[in-house]
Amino acid sequence: MAIGQELHFDFPDNMCFGCSPHNERGLQLTFMHVSHSGIAGRYTAPEHVCGAPGLVHGGMQAAILDEAVGFAVQAHHDSTGELEQEEAGWVKVATVEFDLRYRRPVPTGVEVGIRAEVVRVSGRDYLAVAEIVDDSGDVLTSATAKWRRLA
C-alpha cells in the first residue's frame, strides 16, 4: 500500500476493538497512510463513549491513540516493504509503554482528527507520537508510546 492509501485490516477473524469493521461494539477506526511512518484519520465519537456528558471518556481517548500508534507502526513497515512478508499482511506488535496528556476536552458527536507517527526504531522497539486534534489543528490529547515487535 502506498502513501495516500487507506490502511485497514478487514480480514474475517479480526475482532479488534479499535479497527475491526466486524466488531459492532468497536471503534471501527480506519487511517490513511500519509508519510513514511505516519497515519491520519477522522473520528466522531458517539455519545455512549462519554465520560462527562458530551465529552469523550479519557480511557476511550487512550484507546483511540493507542490504535493510531499501532497503525503508524504498520505504515512504517508498509513503507519498507516488510508487510508483504508478514503473516496476514501485518506486523505483530504490542504496546509496552504509553504516556497520555489530556490538554483540552474532546467532544462527542464532533468529528476530530487523529494522527500518529513512528519517530524512532531501535531493534524491536518503536517510539511513536499520536494526537487527537480539532479542526483548527489544536491538540486536544497527545500521547507518546513504545511498541515492541513480538517476533
- How confident is the prediction along the chain (151 residues), in pLDDT tens digits per residue? 578 888 777 777 778 888 878 888 888 888 999 999 999 999 999 999 999 999 999 999 999 999 999 999 999 987 665 555 445 567 889 999 999 999 999 999 999 999 999 999 999 999 999 999 999 999 999 999 999 999 7
Q: What share of the chain is helix, strand, coil (3-state, %, to 5)?
A: 20, 40, 40
DSSP lists the bridge partners of residue 124 as: none
CA trace torsion 89, 125, 56, 19 (10° rounding): 10
Q: How far apart are CA 141 and CA 143, in angstroms?
A: 7
- The upper half-sphere exposure of residue 65, i.e. CA atoms within 13 Å in the direction of its Cβ, equals 28
Residues 6+ apart with CB under 8 A from 34: 3, 4, 40, 75, 115
Q: What class is the 6-149 domain?
A: alpha beta
Residues 6+ apart with CB under 8 A from 111: 42, 43, 44, 135
**For residue 8, what pLDDT is reported?**
74
**For residue 81, what pLDDT is reported?**
57
The closest alpha carbon to 70, from 112, 13, 126, belongs to 126
**pTM for the complete prediction?**
0.90
**For residue 146, what pLDDT is reported?**
98
Residues 6+ apart with CB under 8 A from 95: 66, 69, 70, 145, 146, 147
**For residue 32, what pLDDT is reported?**
94
Instruction: Give the three cell numbers for residue 124.
Output: 524491536
**For residue 85, what pLDDT is reported?**
46
Where are the chain's structural domains?
6-149
